[in-house]
Amino acid sequence: MSEHIPDGLSPAGRDLRAYTDELRPRHRVVRNIEGEWVLLAHDLVVQAALDHDTFSSGVSRFLQVPNGLDGAEHTAYREALDPFLSAGALAEHEPAFRRVAVELVAAPG
């Protein structure tokens, strides 16, 4: 993939969603200040999501389960974890989630 990397573009102090929305009409792929590739085109995001051989999630030096795994290994861990993340399993925690969300939205900055 050899797409244009915009020179001097930095999201410092800007809303990241608004920034990428601004870039999207002119760029399909950009590189952020950490040197990571950011896909801005829907078709590229779909391609990356479906092709774990080319676009591996296993890039961190720290194991991230399941999101740092690919293919069948990711699927196996998702199947094991999903019951613990169902609406029913999380229902008892909803008041705490709502309290934290309200506090975060109300926090300055």
DSSP states of the chain as a string? Answer: ------TT---TTS-HHHHHHHHTTT-SEEE-TTS-EEE-SHHHHHHHHH-TTTS-S--SSS--TTTT--HHHHHHHHHHHGGGGSHHHHGGGHHHHHHHHHHHHHS--
Residue type, 4: H
- Give the pLDDT of residue 31: 85
> What would the mean pLDDT of 61-74 be, rounded to a whole number?
90
- Give the pLDDT of residue 89: 97
- Give the pLDDT of residue 11: 61
Q: How far apart are CA 31 and CA 53, in angstroms?
A: 21
**pTM strictly above 0.75:** no
pLDDT, tens digit, 9 for 90 and up, residues 4-60? 445 555 566 777 788 888 889 999 998 877 778 889 999 999 999 889 888 888 888
Classify residue 26 by its DSSP letter. T
